[in-house]
């Protein structure tokens, strides 16, 4: 569909407006300074580098692969409290949890797109271990693993790292995905994302890259210009259920996808990336299908980004470039590093 239309997102239960003709308009908006690659393998001022002292006075070990620690400025604190009975319209309640920092590598200059596949596999195994460990805490209900890459997406430190936030309640986005996937499972006996993946592979228009265990695609309902999802072919609820072979395959597809991102505008591509997986300690959720979201802001070049403002904030999401065109551009990017490793 090439004219103005809207598309339904069955995961979030929202519509997105698609206006392809707007890509022809002249751009006179804000242009950001393109991201620059940091070639420094060790920064004595970085609080994530091995052997350095963090803000709380603790010293990082001389780690050689990955490293995880409790966030020194955690947004959630591990102190569950009784919840008051809701009264009235204006409500507030305590929220407990924990936050961890997940360092991907001791090398300050690396990004996922410049890491060897084996190094990315070590990161996935870190996610795996952290998820399984924290899922054992009985009052935790959701484990969100994510990464903000680049200053444009709010990363406060360029050292390669992600975060884990675990809540005693299920956050809104995960709650909606839980509801939509459970409804589809109850109605059809099939996974919503497995059914979606079957349609996507039959079409092929929005597939970016794939291997024997995973598919990376621009969702039919994507909001961000070059938004992608990584979906496993096998139906399982969390990274804690992945096999070693699936860990390896996920590492390969994350390497390929992030390399394509960097190649698109020949810049270290900013994004927010996250793992969506079944809430924990919530009873059986057979409809849940593990997946990953990539939300990159760049629109036309390394310096022009998409803003979700005005209509998007007040009415519904809107995009200009179609998901099919975005997928085609990512497919055209050769699977070689845009910025070669040092």
What percent of the chain lies above the pLDDT cut of 90? 79
Task: State residue 340's pLDDT score.
Answer: 45
| Domain map (residue ranges) of the chain | 36-76+95-332
Task: State residue 39's pLDDT score.
Answer: 78
SS (H, E, C) 148-213: EECHHHCCCCCCCEEEEEEECCCCHHHHHHHHHHHHHHHHHCCCHHHHHHHHHHHHCCCEEEECCC
**Spans of the chain, pLDDT less than 50:** 28, 338-342
Catalytic residue among 5, 21, 39, 161: 161
Instruction: Write down the residue that tokens 């995973």 correspond to.
Output: 214
Summarised one tens digit per residue, pLDDT across range 230-245 is 999 999 999 999 999 9
Task: State residue 23's pLDDT score.
Answer: 63
Choices 3.30.428.10, 3.40.50.2300, 3.40.1280.10, 2.60.40.790: CATH for 36-76+95-332:
3.30.428.10
pTM for the predicted model, two decimal places: 0.93
Phi, psi (rounded to 5 degrees) for 323: -55, -35
Task: State residue 73's pLDDT score.
Answer: 92
Residues 6+ apart with CB under 8 A from 218: 206, 208, 226, 227, 228, 229, 323, 324, 326, 327, 330
For residues 180 and 187, what is the distance between their CA atoms, to the nearest angstrom? 11
Q: Decide if 161 is catalytic.
A: yes
Q: Which of 251, 256, 212 is nearest to 232 (CA)?
A: 212
Task: State residue 306's pLDDT score.
Answer: 85
For residues 269 and 108, what is the distance between their CA atoms, to the nearest angstrom? 17
Q: How crowded is residue 130: how many other Cβ atoms within 10 Å of its Cβ? A: 21
- As given in the structure block, the two tokens for residue 338 are 């845009």
């Amino acid at each position: 569909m090439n004219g103005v239309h809207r598309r339904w997102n069955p995961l979030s239960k929202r519509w997105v407006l698609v206006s392809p003709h707007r890509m022809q308009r002249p751009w006179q908006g804000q242009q950001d300074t393109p991201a620059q690659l940091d070639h420094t393998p060790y920064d004595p001022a970085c609080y994530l580098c091995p052997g350095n002292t963090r803000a709380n006075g603790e010293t990082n070990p001389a780690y050689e692969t990955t490293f995880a620690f409790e966030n020194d400025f955690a947004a959630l604190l591990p102190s569950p409290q009784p919840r008051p009975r809701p009264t009235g319209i204006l409500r507030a309640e305590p929220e407990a949890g924990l936050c961890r920092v997940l360092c991907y590598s001791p090398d300050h200059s690396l990004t996922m797109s410049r890491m060897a596949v084996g190094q990315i596999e070590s990161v996935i195994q870190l996610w795996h271990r952290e998820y399984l460990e924290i899922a054992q805490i009985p009052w935790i209900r959701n484990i969100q693993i994510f990464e903000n890459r680049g200053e444009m997406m709010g990363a406060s430190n360029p050292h390669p790292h992600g975060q884990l936030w675990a809540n005693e309640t299920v956050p809104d986005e995960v709650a909606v995905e839980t509801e939509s996937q459970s409804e589809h499972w109850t109605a059809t006996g099939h996974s919503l994302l497995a059914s979606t993946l079957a349609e996507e592979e039959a079409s092929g228009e929005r597939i970016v890259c794939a291997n024997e265990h995973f598919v990376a695609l621009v969702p039919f309902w994507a909001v961000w210009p070059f938004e992608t999802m990584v979906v496993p072919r096998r139906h399982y609820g969390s990274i804690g259920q992945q096999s070693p072979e699936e860990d390896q395959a996920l590492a390969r597809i994350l390497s390929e996808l992030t390399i394509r991102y960097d190649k698109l505008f020949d810049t270290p591509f900013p994004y927010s990336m996250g793992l969506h997986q079944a809430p924990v300690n919530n009873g059986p959720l057979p409809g849940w299908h593990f997946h990953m979201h990539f939300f990159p802001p760049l629109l036309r070049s390394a310096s022009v980004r998409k803003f979700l403002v005005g209509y998007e904030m007040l009415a519904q999401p809107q995009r200009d470039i179609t998901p099919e065109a975005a997928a085609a551009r990512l497919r055209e990017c050769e699977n070689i590093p845009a910025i070669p490793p040092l």
